[in-house]
Each structure stands twice: as C-alpha cells, then as structure tokens.
Amino acid sequence: MCLSLPVQIVKINKKMAVVKKSNRNKTIDISLINKLKIKDWVLCANNFAIRKIRPKEAKEILRLLKGGKRHESRT
Amino acid sequence: MNQGLKIAIKYSIVPCQLGYCGPTDEPEKKILLEFLRGEKIDEQKIRQILQQFAGTNLYYNFIARSNGITDPFDKKVVEAYWTGNELLDKLNGAGHHSFHVYKIGSITGRIQFTDNLRDLCRIGWGCVKKIKAEKIIIEHQPIIRNKNNKLELGEETGKIVGWDKIILPRLEIGNIVSIHWDKAIEVLEEQQMANLKKFTLMNIK
C-alpha cells in the first residue's frame, strides 16, 4: 500500500535496474513489472519495484514527503 | 448510497490518485469520484473497482469474517479499518489501518520507512482552525520519536492540508477532521475521534 517510495529508473540490466533515490543510486529488482524503461518512475519497497506510477504522481508524493506544510498556530 | 462504499472511496481515493493502490485507469478513478458526488452508478461497478485495492480488501475481509459479517463493504467494517470501532476490540487493534502502517511494515525488520512517510500514510486527525479555498489549517499532533526513540503523539502544531469538496463537501471551523496523505477526509464525531486515537496509540507502541 502506501509504504513504498517513488524512484526513477536510470539504467536497466535484465531484471535489475539502477534507480535514483535521494541523489544516490541503488539497484533494485524490477522483475515484478513488465515493460519498464529508463526514466520510468516506480514505487519501491524492500528493493523491489512493485508498481509503475506516473511522473506527476511521483513528484506529488516526493513533495508531500519533503515535509508537511507547517503553520504557526496563534492559539 | 451505500455508506460503506462511500467511506471506502473517501479514504482510498487519495493514495489511489498518488498511484499507490487501486485502479490505474483514469476513467475508473473518475467513476469513484462521481459516486461520491451522488451520481447514480451501479453499486456492483463500484464494488468491482474497489476490489482492485488489494491491501484494504484483505483487511475488510479479515474484519468482516472475524465479526460474522457477510459484506466486506459493510459500513461498520470499513469504518473499523480506517478510523476504528468495536469490531476491532476482539482483534486487539490488528485490523486497523495504523496496524498496517506501524506493525506490518516493520515485521521483517528489513523495510525501513521514514517516520514522515508513515505519518503521511496513517489516518491522522486535527481541529479545523481556518478555511482558505482548497486548503485548511488544522491543529494537529504529528507522530514523533521521543528521546527514548519511541513513537508518540507530539505537541499540537498548525498544519496545512488540502480540502477536496468531492471527498468532503462541507466543513466548518471547529470541526475535527480525519486526514490521509495531507487531505481532509471526513468530519469525525467525538466517539470516532476517540476510536481513531485509541487504535493509533495501540499500534505505534
């Protein structure tokens, strides 16, 4: 479900891919999803790509993760 | 309108729109929103779409079966999963959404989730202080780590969350709302808020 993070594929080697995550690269297993290509965004859990998502969805998740908007309460 | 289906859509649609779960097909997401708006849609179609939320369906079925309820989309079953109620009492809170967020992810010890991710994914709550078009400001307690590295509810702080009027048509200052992925989902009555807090605290231990 929600407990996975969006990462972008930078390189594919058969059933493994190098992805960009927080300005670092890591290798994940992409064997669960067909027809992935470089620059695709996937949700990654436990070093497995579990679902392909749209760039817009990935960017929104990353925006939310960067920090909820805090508001200084006057109460 | 079947209230169980309505509640299921309200809580699931936000992570669905983020790509996390449920249908990837845009027309099917639109059908769910149309149903929330009150448009006449065959309930069987809605059930068929909701069955694509594999994770939540496991829990709905678990809670229903444990309580002798035939319909996994019964209002009480769906409410038990998202905000909690007496159906979870015999399960020690195991069927609650917070159980999935805080316990299941940690079972193997191999999955490291940031606290921020889990705080976004859980069903939070807050009191509405200000309303501004599609945003509202709530007083909210985030879940934080204390000095003993244990999770607990932090101090109340202001937080801006989104307000989608299809999900939540009406809102007033002073309402307590549930939130999921930084969106307001429903106005909670006192007992509902108490249940949500109770089961959340149970599962962050």
Judged by CB atoms closer than 8 Å, whether chains meet at B19 and A3 is answered as: no
For B131-169, how does the pLDDT look when each residue is reduced to its tens digit (9 = 90+)? 999 999 999 999 999 999 899 999 999 999 999 999 999
Distance from CA of B42 to the nearest CA of A (A): 27
For B34-93, how does the pLDDT look when each residue is reduced to its tens digit (9 = 90+)? 999 999 999 999 999 999 998 899 999 999 999 999 999 999 999 999 999 999 998 988
Judged by CB atoms closer than 8 Å, whether chains meet at A60 and B18 is answered as: yes
DSSP conformation class of B104 = G
Other Cβ atoms less than 10 A from the Cβ of A34: the count is 7
Name chain B contacts of A54, Cβ cutoff 8 Å. Answer: 19
Question: CB of A59 within 8 Å of any CB in chain B?
Answer: no
| Mean pLDDT of the residues in chain B | 92
Q: What percent of chain B has pLDDT over 90?
A: 82
Question: CB of B105 within 8 Å of any CB in chain A?
Answer: yes
Question: CB of A16 within 8 Å of any CB in chain B?
Answer: no
For A14-65, how does the pLDDT look when each residue is reduced to its tens digit (9 = 90+)? 999 999 877 789 999 999 999 999 999 999 988 899 999 999 999 999 999 8
Cβ proximity of B38 and B5 under 8 Å: no
Q: What percent of chain B has pLDDT over 70?
A: 96
Which member of B21, B121, B159 has the closest CB to residue A68?
A: B159
Q: To the nearest 10°, the Cα dihedral for B172, B174, B180, B184?
A: 10
Amino acid at B152: E
Radius of gyration of the CA atoms of chain A, in A: 14
Judged by CB atoms closer than 8 Å, whether chains meet at A69 and B159 is answered as: yes
Which ipTM value was assigned to this complex?
0.78
Q: Hey, of B12, B16, B18, which one would you mutate to test binding to chain A, going by the most A CBs within 10 A of its CB?
A: B18
Q: Judging by DSSP bridges, how do beta strands A16-21 and A41-45 pair with one another?
A: unpaired
Cβ proximity of B59 and B71 under 8 Å: no
pLDDT at A68: 53
Question: CB of A63 within 8 Å of any CB in chain B?
Answer: no
Question: CB of A28 within 8 Å of any CB in chain B?
Answer: no
Name chain A contacts of B108, Cβ cutoff 8 Å. Answer: 46
Cβ proximity of B13 and A2 under 8 Å: no
| B24 to chain A: closest CA residue | A53
What is each CA distance from B179 to A33, A39, A41, B159, in whole angstroms? 31, 32, 26, 11
Judged by CB atoms closer than 8 Å, whether chains meet at A2 and B19 is answered as: no
Name chain B contacts of A70, Cβ cutoff 8 Å. Answer: 157-160
